[in-house]
Structure 1
């Protein structure tokens, strides 16, 4: 259903190479990112109390095409249950299959190409056996130059956030399987009928509504889903808000101890997160990146509230079982989560 080779080819071309960097500067950036990831493991463990095995997931410092390839591989694994379900219900054949895979490949490539110039780092939990940590060197260099950050400080700051995600998945081994199971349930709800056409029409109506003062998000994720799918997506949103917010809290908790210019970095980076230009903002909205920014904010508020009230040990109960994960509603109401999970 997706021509992944075409997606990688288009995505790599759209992403570009990034900033011009001398060979010695590039070598230094790669070395500092690797060292920052290594150093962050102990810092995250000491702050959170989560214990992950050292070197349990490889660290890859990549360029933009390397990130595109890695994410195409991850998407192929992630979408496998959905693709299997859709092809079981309505197997594509002949010219429909050939043309359809090219169209979806081009669409995925366009998304990857846009994101490949934005992402600084990422933990890929779906790479067997324990996931892998990706750090996108040209983007790190581009952003540190753009906001005038101290390069060594900024690189460690990025590593702290991404290493927290590595610790989350390797210290909580059921997390990966839980996400897979939720995606499998989402696949069960998929129908191969006119969902794409209907979804595009709803997206366009929502975007027109925003231009006319409407309040819809305009996100493809929000607009294409049925009520059942939205319920599953709400559960996944709760998990992702927890993971992203927790990583932000760790960054802000550890940062002042080891990164002298962390306050300046945080202030400048928060401003940059808002996006620049009309096209950039539109693409962010369509791809759900506005919602992604809300996940950082809402998840961090949830984590800070629970830690303030129950301490880090109390908060860490969230990692004991999937039943302890907060829902989307509980992310917004941490006291409700504490009543449900910590009442005893």
Structure 2
């Protein structure tokens, strides 16, 4: 994946003139004025400061105001602009997706106790994907942007804050635009490559919507030597299986997103490096802010809390993907000749860090790669073979019942524990309610006896 820009300059360094000597009437990148058309002859000219501020004000006025750390209106605008020319989904593609999802649901019904979770099946274009998933991206990106922008303000000395006054607010707005610019570019690239709304392993799209991207699937199919209809049904089965989990395991959606947020909130930024960098930024030059944000001084430091959150997230992602892998294999392997090859292709796509994982790592600083997918699939297969499909799916009834990272190391021990402790599969809340009922009845009977005696 290309190095996504974090600000306002073009993506190609050569277009910014990096590494080139300054020319008459121009400036080296990073010098004041280099972010504006034509530059400034002979470097920074105080007499043209008013013109620079006017241009900066025009740039800020063209972007919609943002109340948060990321300008999502700008992100959407940039993404849509970069996706101009991408084909919209046709009615024929919409019917094909709906038929594929319907067929996949029929095949999934006998191999899982979780009912269909998708209320609608849609064919999305890349632009549809951006618009459909942006609300979830906002929830995932805000904690990171807040930590970075907050650390930047903390790094500014108090006397500088008082002297800067409204300038800090302007810098905050420009920071929101910088984040929005990067997010928009990343979403545009990801929307051009992702195959389904659930490919990242997170419920990015609207609840109850199974969405596939036919144009991207067609490009993906071109190198597989398999019929396009077969690939479409296989991917539809994976999308439908994800939707069954996300819809009928009430705690799962919230737990996945909350764990990502927990990881982001734990980000620590090297404020001493930021203090050193603060003196190098020209607030009237957006490109100098871009270069600062891409300088590497904003790299988060991994904390023990983040490592723990990352382990929990990787385990949960592996369990989701492993369950989907097993259920889809049971549903389609005898019906689609190329199912096993497609299964292995997607496993490798995830394991090697496909476009979804790479883009998410750029945006949130977190790799969504289910490193233990094969171990999780083996565990689900073992539980299903030993205890049946109903017992396997009942493990999702409560978050305390799902396997841990240690269980992935010892799937046989987990399966044996379920066999010797069948009550572990029951919903703990329901169990507590059942325990309370006899007590309530006893209290009622005692009360009745007392009334009769009186």
TM-score range, shorter chain: 0.7 to 0.9
Change (3 A) 1:283 1:76: closer
Matched, 1:62 2:130: no
Are residues 321 and 264 of structure 1, via their aligned partners in 2, closer, same or farther at CA, if it must alter by over 3 Å?
closer
Which residue is equivalent to 1:125? 203
Query: Offset of 1:47 from its aligned partner?
Result: 0.6
Q: Which of these residues, 211, 231, 236, is aligned with residue 159 of structure 1?
A: 236
* Match in the other structure for 2:47: none
User: Which residue does 1:11 correspond to in 2?
Assistant: 79
Instruction: Summarize the Cα distance change of 1:268–1:231 in structure 2 as closer, same or farther, 3 Å threshold.
Output: closer
Superposition deviation, residue 139 in structure 1: 0.6
| Structure 1 spans left out of the alignment, 5+ residues | 198-221
Task: Provide Cα deviations, 1:7-62, integer angstroms capped at 9, x if missing partner.
Answer: 223334555756x89x9xx543321111111222232232111124662xx33311
Distance 2:223 2:84 in 1: 17
Tell me which of 371, 374, 386 is aligned to 1:309.
386
The TM-score normalised by the length of structure 1 is 0.73
- State the partner residue of 1:41: 105
Question: Aligned residue for 2:215?
Answer: 138
Asked if the contact 1:324/1:341 (under 8 Å) is kept, the reply is: no
Flag the 1:267–1:180 CA change in 2: closer, same or farther, 3 A. closer
* Residue among 111, 115, 121 paired with 2:190: 115
Quick one: structure 1 residues 269 and 323, their matched pair in 2 at CA, closer, same or farther if it must change by over 3 Å?
Answer: closer
CA distance in 1, matches of 2:272, 2:186: 19
**Relative to structure 2, which stretch is displaced further, 30-39 or 304-313?**
304-313
1:155-184 Cα offsets, whole Å, 9 max, x none, are 111000010010001121222233344355
Q: Relative to structure 2, which stretch is displaced further, 8-17 or 311-320? A: 8-17
Equivalent residue runs for 1:51-200 within 5 Å: 51-52=115-116, 55=119, 58-79=120-141, 94-123=169-198, 125=203, 130-183=207-260, 185-186=262-263, 189-190=266-267, 194=271
**Do the aligned partners of 1:234 and 1:327 also contact (CA within 8 Å) in 2?**
no
Which structure's residues are more often helix, by fraction? Answer: 1
Stretch deviating more after TM superposition (137-146 or 292-301) = 292-301
Cα contact 1:82–1:186 (8 A) shared by 2 = no
TM-score (norm 2): 0.57
Q: Who wins on radius of gyration, i.e. which is larger?
A: 2
Q: Bigger shift: 69-78 or 135-144? A: 69-78
Matched residue count: 312
Give SS of 2:93's match.
helix
Contact kept, 8 Å, 1:7 with 1:72, in 2: the verdict is: no
Secondary structure of the 1:38 match is helix
Cα gap change, 1:65 to 1:235, in 2 (>3 Å): same
Runs of 5+ consecutive residues of structure 2 not aligned to the other structure: 1-68, 155-167, 275-298, 422-454
